[in-house]
């Protein structure tokens, strides 16, 4: 999947798994992206898998206080 599709998938998973509103999840992913959390995913397409999206959704949700 493309980098943008990966970020969309992570956002969708955060909404579905953690019951956040769409705009909250989008802001969370954007803040993680601004903190360069996804640099490796942009550089390496092999990291952009559905399984990895699930892992990243969990990680970002757990780290949400750090991105505020």
SS (H, E, C) 11-48: HHHHHHHHCCCHHHHHHHHHHHHHCCCCHHHHHCHHHC
The pair of three-digit structure tokens given for residue 67, joined into one six-digit string: 């991105």
Task: Please write the tens of the pLDDT for every residue from 4-63.
Answer: 999 999 999 999 999 999 999 999 999 999 999 999 988 999 999 999 999 999 999 999
| Separation of CA 33 from chain center | 8
The confidence score (pLDDT) of residue 31 equals 95
Domain enclosing residue 45, as ranges? 3-67
Number of domains in the chain: 1
- In the block, tokens 């969708």 appear at 12
């Amino acid at each position: 999947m493309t980098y943008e599709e990966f970020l969309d998938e992570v956002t969708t998973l955060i909404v579905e798994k953690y019951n956040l509103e769409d705009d909250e999840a989008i802001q969370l992913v954007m803040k993680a992206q601004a903190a360069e959390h996804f640099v490796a995913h942009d550089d390496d397409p092999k990291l952009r898998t559905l399984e990895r999206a699930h892992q990243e959704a969990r990680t970002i949700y757990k780290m949400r206080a750090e991105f505020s």
